[in-house]
Amino acid sequence: MTDWGHYLSHMRANAPLIQNITNYVAMNVMANALLASGASPAMLHAEEEAGEFAALASALTINIGTLSTDWVRGMIVAAESANENDTPWVLDPVAAGATAFRRETSSALLALKPSVIRGNASEILAVCGEMTKGKGADSADSVTEAEAGARALAASTGGIVAVTGPQDLITDGTRAYRVDNGHAMMPLVTALGCTLNGVIASFIVGKPHLEATTAAIAYYGLAGQLAAETTSAPGSFATAFIDALYTITPDQLSDAARIQES
Ligand SMILES: Nc1ncnc2c1ncn2[C@@H]1O[C@H](COP(=O)(O)OP(=O)(O)OP(=O)(O)O)[C@@H](O)[C@H]1O
Ligand SMILES: Cc1ncsc1CCO
Ligand SMILES: [Mg+2]
């Protein structure tokens, strides 16, 4: 049986340096969540340094939430540098279907073959070129509706695709895991999906990407469950959530991970 808690202890033992090119909404909560989890965040995106820094980082995340042309240049050089240095990187195609600029940017980044693509169901459907009800950063489609697309996308990029929502699906195109951790309060706090990308990045360093992504999502969902035990509204939930990322032990994760392979 898989020891899911081991992925958390491995991450904490190494405290990986995670470079994040993320949106303005997510930056602060993401940096705090990474620190609470046990990783070391760096938020930088300028074209002049993003590639140089990606050569030093243990992993990279790229999120297209608040795009501009200058940032896209920084994203491309960072992803290219990560690939040259065998550094794993995670792509979040936020609101990928909403505008031509987002579609073009997601296509350019997908061509660079992210190690993991993580999005909600509407975003994964948009990246697959399929019809989606989603218009902005929130999902309007179910994880089940995105499953076939997620498997095909993973097969075509050679990476992992993670579709998050009430139940999460993580696939390499052939195998898949489903995670039933999490809490309905999580989508009421902005940027918790974006923040998850950094936690996934920290878990996949030096580990098999399919299982490490799954463990990261279970850990993150468990933090949501524990936060909901102490609060019942989104503002205090956000704080309790960061605290739970800090207090969860590897044994607790092993006991409470709700993961099935299918
Ligand atoms: N209804 C739900 N019940 C349980 N967990 C949920 C639910 N919705 C989302 N989650 C969890 O919330 C986390 C973020 O996933 P979500 O799909 O909401 O990301 P997102 O839409 O990209 O978020 P954002 O764009 O605001 O950053 C994941 O860990 C997911 O499992
Ligand atoms: C609300 C929002 N808008 C652009 S990025 C972002 C954070 C959640 O994806
Ligand atoms: Mg999102």
What's the first-to-final CA gap in the chain, in angstroms? 15
Nearest residue (CA) to ligand 2, atom 4:
65
Query: Is residue 43 annotated as involved in ligand binding?
Result: yes
C-beta of 234 in contact with ligand 1 (< 6 A): no
Distance 194 CA to ligand 3 centre (A): 5
CA atoms within 13 A of residue 259's CA, in its CB half-sphere: 28
Sequence-ordered list of residues with C-beta below 8 angstroms from that of 187, at least 6 positions apart, any chain? 138, 139
Sequence-ordered list of residues with C-beta below 8 angstroms from that of 164, at least 6 positions apart, any chain? 118, 119, 120, 143, 193, 196, 217
**Residues lining ligand 3 (ion), CB within 5 A?**
94, 193
| Closest CA relative to residue 243, chosen from 28, 41, 36 | 36
pLDDT computed for residue 138 by the predictor? 82
Distance 1 CA to ligand 3 centre (A): 31
Tell me the CATH number at 178. Answer: 3.40.1190.20
pTM of the model: 0.98
pLDDT computed for residue 140 by the predictor? 81
pLDDT computed for residue 68 by the predictor? 97
Contact indicator for 235, 29 with CB cutoff of 8 Å: no
Query: Is residue 201 annotated as involved in ligand binding?
Result: no
pLDDT computed for residue 61 by the predictor? 98
pLDDT computed for residue 179 by the predictor? 98
C-beta of 189 in contact with ligand 2 (< 6 A): no
Angle between helices 27-37 and 192-204 in degrees, nearest 10: 40
Ligand 1 pocket test, candidate residues 186, 200, 203, most atoms within 8 A of CB: 186
CA dihedral 57, 60, 66, 72 (to 10 degrees): 90
Query: Is this complex scored with an ipTM above 0.90?
Result: yes
Q: How confident is the model at residue 47 (pLDDT cuts 50, 70, 90)?
A: very high
| Closest CA relative to residue 184, chosen from 221, 215, 214 | 221
Q: What pLDDT, in 10s, does the model give residues 96-147?
A: 999 999 999 999 999 999 999 999 999 999 999 887 777 788 888 888 999 9
C-beta of 196 in contact with ligand 2 (< 6 A): no
Q: Give the closest ligand to the alpha carbon of residue 22.
A: 2
What residue numbers bound the domain in which 165 lies?
Answer: 4-261
Please provide the average confidence, as pLDDT, over all residues in the chain: 96
| Closest CA relative to residue 151, chosen from 136, 141, 163 | 163
Number of domains making up the chain: 1
pLDDT computed for residue 185 by the predictor? 98
Q: How confident is the model at residue 159 (pLDDT cuts 50, 70, 90)?
A: very high
Distance 20 CA to ligand 2 centre (A): 15
- The answer on pLDDT for 50 being more than 90 is yes
C-beta of 227 in contact with ligand 1 (< 6 A): no
Mean pLDDT for the stretch of residues 189-201: 98
> Given the structure tokens 């820094």, which residue do they identify?
53
Ligand 2 pocket test, candidate residues 94, 101, 122, most atoms within 8 A of CB: 94
